[in-house]
Amino acid sequence: MRGTTRVKWIAGVGMLALAATACGGDSDSGGGGGAPSGYYTASSTEPQNLLQPANANETGGFYPLSMLFRGLYTYDAKTGETVSAMAESMDSPDNVTWTVKLKSGWTFHNGEPVNAKSFVDAWNWGALSTSKQLNSTWFQPIVGYDQVHPAEGNPTAQTMSGLKVVDDTTFTIQLTHPISSFKAQMGYTPFMPLPQEFYKDPEKYGAAPIGNGPFQLDTANGGWDRKKSITVKRFDNYQGADKAKSDGVRLVFYTTYDAAYTALRDNKLDVIDQIPVSAVGNFQKDLGNRAIVQPQLSIQKIGFPLYDAGWGTPGAAKVRQGLSMAIDRDGITKALYKGMEQPAVDWLAPGVPGQMDICGETCKYDPAKAKQLIAEGGGIPGGKLTIATNADGPHKEWVTAVCNSINQALGSTACEPKLYAEFSVAREEITNKKMTGAYRTGWKADYPFPDNFLNDIYRTGAASNDSGYSNANFDNLAKQAQGATDEAQALKLWQDAEKQMVQDLPSIPLWYYVTKAGSSTKVSNVSFDVFGNPEFTEVTVNK
């Protein structure tokens, strides 16, 4: 049983953190306002990489790419289900051989028609090992991937044999094994088409991309102004149903979310996608009907560098289990988020099929058991746990609270935050597997299936497998689950895969997020999808 004094201690520390950071910073820091008439502004972060569709798996890159590109499908904002964009149809008799039919009339922003070759060439380039794309493994199920992206050495082919252009509006895909959710993946950015202009100079293109989406890069008004903002304008020849209802958008990179919130409250910013911890208790009162609170398919976690000698030993799994049990999720979410967030019981998110309490006692607060497991595992590697996070996002407070909880449970100063000034810098070290300690790692769904929360992050070699986790049993269960034609059977296999994760604990589930956002008085129709992303095309600028 948890004592009330323990909750008060954590709450007290949380409140001290809030008082220290409340509404700090210059409201225009990071490149704020000044957007053209008819445009609106929205908060974001500097992209980690060049704006190439297969090279982003973080919000800073995803936001502009989601505005500039459309693929075969998009997702319904309320349900997350696939909605046709460029696909007239995408059919398969066995979830192995797929035939894609495209709609006609779509063009890239430079007027080039979007056809079957636009997709096939883009996927082949994204998969090629020499292209060094972050999301290349999303193409791994396609026949021929091993030749264009061998585990070692140079490619023996430049294109995947499993992709064939039939005609301008038709192409086929051959997979190595059945994947029932393959169609649902087609709205994710790695699967976007590319114009021929891209291949002349991919790096130059990445700084000023030409897409086929509802917005195009507005170079006349700044385009991508590094470390400050990205400005896009409405693409009037866009053929999709989700046409932009504003003239354009400027994504502004504030140095902190406290500064962004102050700007929003003062009508110097129009849309904010996350409310900083310092304002969680007051933002609904501050903003009134401009405040947004709704469910979101996302989870906050702590990741570990299992490629590091200290964290990669078999005994370290017990240490991670002990650390999980040293975290008072209930106390922290009540103190910092006023009970809006729900403590996690697995690695999925509420609303994702198959989500249930898998983590069990490993995700329950138990200081005595925590001490025992950490001792049995040989102690925290190096004697000190650091949890890395970015200072330009609303995370420092909860990382501090988690460390405080661990320290109190263990009766020592075993944990402390490690702050990076920018999200892109932190992601660079995580992606390049340079971490020596723990790090905060959140995940927003790309599509509402267990695959996206499990296979796409924890399968050996997966694009978003930042920890280096590798377990043959998990991989086998994931492959079986993806190939299952019966949904109940697939969900049972995913739950078995999660049970393996409880034993290994490659990351610690913390809590599920809800969307806490807001808008200025200058805009209307501000809404967020089930994944927690702004519906950029829906926002209208008040006149």
pLDDT digits 0-9 by tens, 261-313: 999 999 999 999 999 989 999 999 999 999 999 989 999 999 999 999 999 99
Question: Do both 9 and 86 map to the same domain?
Answer: no
Look at residue 487 in the predicted model and tell me its pLDDT: 87
What average pLDDT does this structure show over 474-485? Answer: 94
Q: Which of 16-30, 50-64, 387-401 has the highest mean pLDDT?
A: 50-64
Is residue 5 pLDDT above 80, yes or no?
no
Direct distance between the N- and C-terminal alpha carbons of the chain, in angstroms, rounded to an integer = 57
Residue 177 sits in a domain of what CATH number?
Answer: 3.90.76.10
Q: For residues 59 and 237, which has the higher predicted lDDT (pLDDT)?
A: 237
Each residue's pLDDT tens digit, 118-127: 999 999 999 9
Residue 281 belongs to a domain: no
How many domains, in total, are found in the chain? 2
Q: Which domain holds residue 362?
A: 4-20+295-446+506-515
Q: Give the closest residue to 292 by CA, choosing from 45, 23, 532.
A: 532
Show the tokens assigned to 541.
Answer: 């600028």
> How confident is the model at residue 446, as a pLDDT?
83
Residue at token pair 């291949």: 199
Statement to judge: residues 14 and 63 lie in one domain: no
Question: Looking at residue 365, which CATH number applies to its domain?
Answer: 3.10.105.10
Asked whether residue 487 is assigned to any structural domain, the reply reads no
Percent of the chain with pLDDT over 90: 84
* Pick from 246, 234, 235, 295: nearest CA to 271: 246
Last residue of a domain, one of 178, 206, 234: 206
Instruction: Provide the pLDDT for residue 423.
Output: 77
Q: What is the pLDDT of residue 392?
A: 72
pLDDT at res. 33: 57
Q: Is 227 within the bounds of a domain?
A: no
Whole-Å CA distances, 262 to 26, 40, 278, 543: 8, 17, 11, 23
pLDDT at 23 over 50: no
Contact 518, 257 (CB under 8 A): no
Q: Regarding predicted confidence, which is higher, 27 or 58?
A: 58
Within a domain: residue 154? yes
Note the pLDDT of residue 216: 98
Tell me, yes or no, whether 429 lies in a domain.
Answer: yes
Closest CA to 206 of 50, 75, 390: 50
Q: Identify whether residues 359 and 440 lie together within a single domain.
A: yes
Distance CA 520, CA 167 (A): 48
**Same domain as 171, residue 64:** yes
Average pLDDT, the chain: 91
pLDDT single digits (tens) 61-106: 999 999 999 999 999 999 899 999 999 999 999 999 999 999 999 9
Asked if the model's pLDDT at residue 4 lies above 50, the reply is: no
What does the alpha-carbon distance between residue 466 and residue 434 come to, in Å, rounded to a whole number? 10
The answer as to whether 70 is a domain residue is: yes
What pLDDT score was predicted for residue 293?
A: 95
Region 179-203: mean pLDDT is 95
Q: Is residue 283 part of a domain?
A: no
What is the mean predicted confidence (pLDDT) over 207-232? 97
* Alpha-carbon gap, residue 419 to 257, rounded angstroms: 15
Q: Select from 2, 24, 8, 450 the least CA-distant residue to 279.
A: 24
SS (H, E, C) 343-362: ECCCCCCCCCCCCCCCCHHH
Domain-ending residue, one of 206, 231, 250: 206
Domain boundary among 164, 183, 206: 206
Residues 178 and 305 in one domain: no
**pLDDT confidence of residue 448:** 86
pLDDT at residue 35 tops 60: yes
| 430/238: higher pLDDT | 238
**Domain shared by 78 and 137, yes or no:** yes
Structural contact between residues 172 and 163, judged by C-beta atoms closer than 8 angstroms: yes
The answer on 118 and 13 residing in a single domain is no
> Largest Cα–Cα distance in the chain?
70
Q: Is residue 163 part of a domain?
A: yes
Q: Among 15-24, 148-157, 432-441, whose mean pLDDT is lowest?
A: 15-24
